[in-house]
């Protein structure tokens, strides 16, 4: 039985709403109830909004699909908090948010374990069911599906800084005064907070002492003052290729991939050998979880779309959707892995992916994020003369 099969009670509830003329998704009356079988709305990171991903599903089901791409998890979650649970059917964000924030706050709903857990068994070994970040804190409810992932620390031009040197120096690349003016910073606030903590020498994912906050303040000022450019990933990659900069943060397989796809294999994402985390790990990895929104009038296609993107062919399409390119968990399935060409594996740095992920802790929530973000924003403004 489909998880979203409409019961008689649901039908009566929707009929009552329609009779009352309540709006849903910008429609009123009977149109509101009927539209939810004719549309699907997805709030996501880029890739899932690609026509390559959406058009086959759109054509097969004859529905309207709206997919909006943002580049910041908290912003997307705040959209749901502000009342957009009645707009979106699926939300695609990084790993901790479903388990720690969205499900406890009632923003998403569980999905059918019997239907979806078998897909985890075909994923890479570290994602086998029950996969922590796809489950609630009690380990009882399945909250979404894992797909794209990767290490995310920094990117270098290996013609300027060898991979071995970049991995060995690690976060101290930004502590070396000789490197001032040789690097860029991607305009990605949450990840930059993580990285500045790492450069300062402590774990970002915990409450910080006054001494650590002072160190963060000093390090943020140094990082932005020494930056040659603060920009988007396309500009930073261009800067690496042209030789204007030698390295940048924040970056990883995800941000390096467009340059590598253009043939610049000297542009490489790096995970350092040593870092500030308690177990000696040095980098941070991300894993996207796509969840069903707790929409009171959920699209009947929400779970079907989640299943659709699990197929080997569509998983490969998601990995190489327009824009940036990433590994996907479904590469544990030979039928999916065999779709990747040698060139595509080179683009996503498959040769080092396993060892780099092993040197990473997983993206998590910074307890005092707002305080650190304010400090970092002030440092960035001061460095730019704003």
Q: Where are the domains of the chain?
A: 8-147+288-344, 150-284+361-384
pLDDT in tens, 144-160: 999 999 999 999 999 99
Give the contacts of 306 (CB within 8 A, at least 6 positions apart): 90, 111, 116, 144, 145, 290, 292
Report the C-alpha gap between 201 and 282 in whole angstroms: 10
pLDDT in tens, 81-93: 999 999 999 999 9
Any idea of the CA torsion for 41, 317, 270, 343, to the nearest 10 degrees?
Answer: -160
At residue 323, the pLDDT reads 81
By mean pLDDT, which of 27-31, 223-227, 356-360, 364-368 is the weakest? 27-31
Mean pLDDT, residues 302-306:
98
At residue 21, the pLDDT reads 31
Do residues 40 and 295 touch, judged by C-beta distance below 8 A? no
Report the C-alpha gap between 237 and 215 in whole angstroms: 29
Tokens at residue 366, please?
């910074």
Report the C-alpha gap between 260 and 381 in whole angstroms: 32
Element (H, E) at 98: none
Report the C-alpha gap between 294 and 237 in whole angstroms: 38
As a whole number, the mean pLDDT across the chain is 91
At residue 71, the pLDDT reads 83
At residue 186, the pLDDT reads 96
Report the C-alpha gap between 361 and 189 in whole angstroms: 19
At residue 36, the pLDDT reads 85
Is 202 a residue whose pLDDT tops 90?
A: yes
Of the candidate CATH numbers 3.30.420.40, 3.40.50.20, 3.30.530.20, 3.40.190.10, the domain formed by 8-147+288-344 belongs to 3.40.190.10
At residue 170, the pLDDT reads 97
Give the contacts of 375 (CB within 8 A, at least 6 positions apart): 213, 216, 217, 220
Report the C-alpha gap between 131 and 208 in whole angstroms: 29
Is 25 a residue whose pLDDT tops 70?
A: no
At residue 58, the pLDDT reads 96
At residue 378, the pLDDT reads 98
Do residues 156 and 166 touch, judged by C-beta distance below 8 A? yes
Nearest in space to 95 (alpha carbons), one of 152, 48, 145, 129: 145
At residue 15, the pLDDT reads 30
Is 301 a residue whose pLDDT tops 90?
A: yes
Confidence category of residue 7, pLDDT binned at 50, 70, 90: very low
At residue 372, the pLDDT reads 98
- Do the domains 150-284+361-384 and 8-147+288-344 match in fold? yes
Mean pLDDT, residues 273-280:
92
Do residues 291 and 102 touch, judged by C-beta distance below 8 A? yes
Is 120 a residue whose pLDDT tops 80?
A: yes
Tokens at residue 352, please?
């080092």
The CATH code for residues 150-284+361-384 is 3.40.190.10
> Can you give the pTM of this predicted structure?
0.88
By mean pLDDT, which of 170-174, 353-357, 381-385 is the weakest? 381-385
Mean pLDDT, residues 38-61:
96
Tokens at residue 271, please?
């995970």
At residue 1, the pLDDT reads 26
End-to-end CA distance of the chain: 58
Report the C-alpha gap between 382 and 225 in whole angstroms: 8
The answer, yes or no, to whether the previous bond of 260 is cis (omega within 30 of 0) is no
pLDDT in tens, 214-273: 999 999 999 999 999 999 999 999 999 999 999 999 999 999 999 999 999 999 999 999
* φ, ψ (nearest 5 deg) of residue 24: -150, 120
Is 164 a residue whose pLDDT tops 50?
A: yes
Count the helix, strand and coil residues of the chain and give each as a percent rounded to the nearest 5. Answer: 45, 20, 35
Is 22 a residue whose pLDDT tops 60?
A: no
Do residues 372 and 208 touch, judged by C-beta distance below 8 A? yes
């Amino acid at each position: 039985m489909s998880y979203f099969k409409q019961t008689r009670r649901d039908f009566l509830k929707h009929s009552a709403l329609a009779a009352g003329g309540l709006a849903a998704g910008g429609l009123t009356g009977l149109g509101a109830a009927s539209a939810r079988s004719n549309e699907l709305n997805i709030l996501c990171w880029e890739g899932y909004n690609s026509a390559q991903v959406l058009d086959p599903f759109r054509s097969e089901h004859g529905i309207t699909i709206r997919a909006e791409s943002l580049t910041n998890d908290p912003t997307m979650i705040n959209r749901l908090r502000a009342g957009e649970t009645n707009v979106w059917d699926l939300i695609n964000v990084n790993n901790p948010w479903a388990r720690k924030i969205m499900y406890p706050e009632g923003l998403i709903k569980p999905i059918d374990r019997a239907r979806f857990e078998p897909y985890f068994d075909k994923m890479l070994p570290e994602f086998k069911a029950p996969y922590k970040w796809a489950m609630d804190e009690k380990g009882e409810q399945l909250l979404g599906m894992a797909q794209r992932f990767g290490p995310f620390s920094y990117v270098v031009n290996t013609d300027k800084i060898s991979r071995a040197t970049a991995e060995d120096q690690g976060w101290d690349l930004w502590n070396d005064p000789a490197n001032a003016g040789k690097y860029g910073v991607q305009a990605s606030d949450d990840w930059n907070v993580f990285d500045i903590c790492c450069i300062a020498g402590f774990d970002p994912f915990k409450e910080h002492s006054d001494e650590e906050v002072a160190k963060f303040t000093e390090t943020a000022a140094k990082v932005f003052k020494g930056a040659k450019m603060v920009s988007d990933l396309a500009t930073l990659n261009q800067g690496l290729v042209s030789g204007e900069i030698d390295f940048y943060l924040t970056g990883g397989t995800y941000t390096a991939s467009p340059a590598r796809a253009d043939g610049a294999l000297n542009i490489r994402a790096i995970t350092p050998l040593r870092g500030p985390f308690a177990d000696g790990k040095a980098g941070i990895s991300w894993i996207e979880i796509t969840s069903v929104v707790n929409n009171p009038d959920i699209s009947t296609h929400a779970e079907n779309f989640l299943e659709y993107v699990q197929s080997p062919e569509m998983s490969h399409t998601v990995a190489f959707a327009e824009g940036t390119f990433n590994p996907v968990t479904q590469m544990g399935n030979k039928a999916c892995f065999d779709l990747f060409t040698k060139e595509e594996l080179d683009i996503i740095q498959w040769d080092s992916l396993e060892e780099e992920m092993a040197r990473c802790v997983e993206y998590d929530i910074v307890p005092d994020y707002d305080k650190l973000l304010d400090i970092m924003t002030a440092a960035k403004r001061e460095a730019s003369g704003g």
